[in-house]
Structure 1
Amino acid sequence: MEFVRTPESRFERLADYPFEGHYCELTSDGMRMHYLDEGPSDADPVLMLHGEPSWSYLYRHMIPIVAAAGHRVIAPDLIGFGKSDKPTSMADYSYQAHMDWMLAFVESLDLNNITLVCQDWGSLIGLRLAAEQQQRFKAIVVGNGMLPTGEQKVPAAFQLWKNFALYSPWFPIARIINSGTFKTLGPEERKAYDAPFPSAKYKAGARAFPRLVPVSADDPATQANKAAWRVLEQWQKPFLTTFSNGDPITRGGDTFMQERIPGAKGQPHQTLVGGHFLQEDSPVAFARAINDLLVNLQR
């Protein structure tokens, strides 16, 4: 598998991103996943998983708040994103490959008692991982995410996005992210979101993600996701939703999960202000919801 590594110079002096980087080697050919590890090293981990086409920079305003509350925050960059290595062929990316890479990461760090925080593709990977490795997880917080099985109606907005990702010769990462926020990203923020992708060669993973979402019964991931849902429908551990009020892609997913996951009963679910990338629009409220959940767990 051919992969590229974004030059470190692309990440120099990024706005509001003072964190020390760490790396986990995932494969025998040396492919690495980058991650942040903030807060007390002996505390239970809060695993923050980003989605498409962002990276751990998305959580920059939330990480200090959760870490300051005494939690260990771990925020990896998915393979193909951020400071992580990037296979150059879209054919090298599959849903199962992302699952394998994330499981290898969690096992390498031997993470346990995890609180999962996930959004967008972070949910497709994280929710299934929690179901398949439920002994490692103690709570889940989902904002604008879902675990699709190919049985749900696909929003028109997603179909448009999928076609754009696959066929558009123009794929401007920062503008794509800005289109999913209420706020207007500043020049330095746009620079940071573009930083991982010096050229089209680095964008295969970002372009591949939309086509990997299960949208039919015969999708390669459908059966595994159905199996994960059978676990989630018995999930008694805390399950909190913090969806935003302005996401056309995941709207209604919070109610869907609240009705089907036992651990969601009685939780202080919130609707936050923002678009698809609620970490940009409501980072403080999102972080405080996580902290409040963990405080209640300790009582």
Structure 2
Amino acid sequence: MTDILHHDPARFTGLPDYAFADRWQAVDVGGGREARMHYVDEGPRDGPVLLLLHGEPSWSYLYRHMISPLAAAGCRVVAPDLIGFGKSDKLADQGSYSYAAHADWLEQFVAALGLKDIGLFCQDWGGLLGLRMVGMQPERFAFVVASNTFLPVGKGEPSPAFLAWREFAASHPGFEIGRIIQRATVRELSEAEVAAYDAPFPDESHKAGARAFPALVPISEEDSGAVDNVRAWDGLRRFERPFLTLFTDQDPITKGGEQFFQKMVPGAAGQPHRIVEGGGHFCQEDVPEVFVAAMLDLAGRGG
């Protein structure tokens, strides 16, 4: 039976700009076991619901500069840590992670909180999971802001940058999470910020989810994730609520992906899409104010 690893609270003490209350939701991870999903839930409960989904290998700390201003503007801001990341429980066996499992855990979380009329911000794997949910359950979502992400169906050739990252995650002996984040941002993170990204991963056993994620991206049409994503795209092709792309100019992994969303999703028509200058792959670290303004505009809370 796979070990379920819990976070060490001492490693998360005094993180810069992350003084949010801890909240927890149990999810069924199979085999009669439950794992705790940690999340931030700030702002008034009756405000517009904004769901912020992180990717690989980050956690809700990535959204710290967005959570406070969005909540201060009257929105309910929910930012979970995916299972295997952040303060959420971690499964020690890489084989316990799959695309379908992550999607199921996230769906359990959203259903348990009763979230509806959601404004979604998604980046990296936050999009692979969040956009799949939009396609499968479009009635839950009021609008989408997508940045530096994609929803692959296994067609075409993966970029060299992605294949290099996939190999690195699988085989590099160190796999220092904080330094990985730093290499994919434009601004220089402080040592304390780098340490905050390392906090969830005290040893190799806690990194199973982070190492597994890149290999779960469908790169062939036969991959189970690709089959499910084809179904999700059927829904996205009918999604008429606002769908805004705000990709950044310094991300080699997802560069150009915004064009596909703009072409295929009806709700993207007429939106003020832009390529945001000065942002790396982990764009929430570089240009959070751009995303805050966009989210507030779409939520009807803009200035």
1:86-105 equivalence runs, <5 A: 86-105=90-109
SS at match of 1:31: strand
Does residue 281 in structure 1 map to residue 286 in structure 2?
A: yes
Give the TM-score, by structure 2 length.
0.96
Partner of residue 239 from structure 1, selected from 212, 218, 243? 243
1:219-238 equivalence runs, <5 A: 219-238=223-242
- Range moving further from structure 2, 39-48 or 100-109: 39-48
What is the letter of the counterpart of residue 173 of structure 1? I
In 2, the alpha carbon distance for the partners of 1:45 and 1:57 equals 19
In 1, the alpha carbon distance for the partners of 2:235 and 2:204 equals 39
SS at match of 2:240: coil
In 1, the alpha carbon distance for the partners of 2:156 and 2:48 equals 34
Q: Please name the residue that 1:164 is paired with.
A: 168
1:9-48 equivalence runs, <5 A: 9-27=10-28, 28-48=32-52
Does residue 181 in structure 1 map to residue 182 in structure 2?
A: no
What is the letter of the counterpart of residue 134 of structure 2? A
- Range moving further from structure 2, 135-144 or 49-58: 135-144
In 1, the alpha carbon distance for the partners of 2:78 and 2:152 equals 25
Q: Which ranges in structure 2 are unaligned for 5 or more consecutive residues?
A: none
Calculate the aligned-residue CA RMSD, in Å: 1.1
Q: Please name the residue that 2:150 is paired with.
A: 146
Deviation at 1:287, TM superposition (A): 1.0
Q: Please name the residue that 2:264 is paired with.
A: 260
Deviation at 1:170, TM superposition (A): 1.4
Partner of residue 211 from structure 2, selected from 198, 207, 213? 207
Is residue 143–residue 243 contact of structure 2 (8 Å, CA) maintained in 1?
Answer: yes
Partner of residue 136 from structure 2, selected from 132, 135, 143? 132
**Per-residue CA shift, 1:116-155, capped at 9, x if unaligned?**
1100000000000111111111111101011010013211
Deviation at 1:295, TM superposition (A): 2.0
Partner of residue 295 from structure 2, selected from 286, 290, 297? 290
What is the letter of the counterpart of residue 129 of structure 2? I
SS at match of 2:189: coil
Give the TM-score, by structure 1 length.
0.97
In 2, the alpha carbon distance for the partners of 1:107 and 1:294 equals 21
Does residue 3 in structure 1 map to residue 4 in structure 2?
A: yes
In 2, the alpha carbon distance for the partners of 1:119 and 1:152 equals 21
In 2, the alpha carbon distance for the partners of 1:115 and 1:221 equals 24
Report the count of equivalent residues: 297
Deviation at 1:245, TM superposition (A): 0.5
In 2, the alpha carbon distance for the partners of 1:93 and 1:41 equals 32
Is residue 65–residue 288 contact of structure 1 (8 Å, CA) maintained in 2?
Answer: no
Q: Please name the residue that 1:74 is paired with.
A: 78
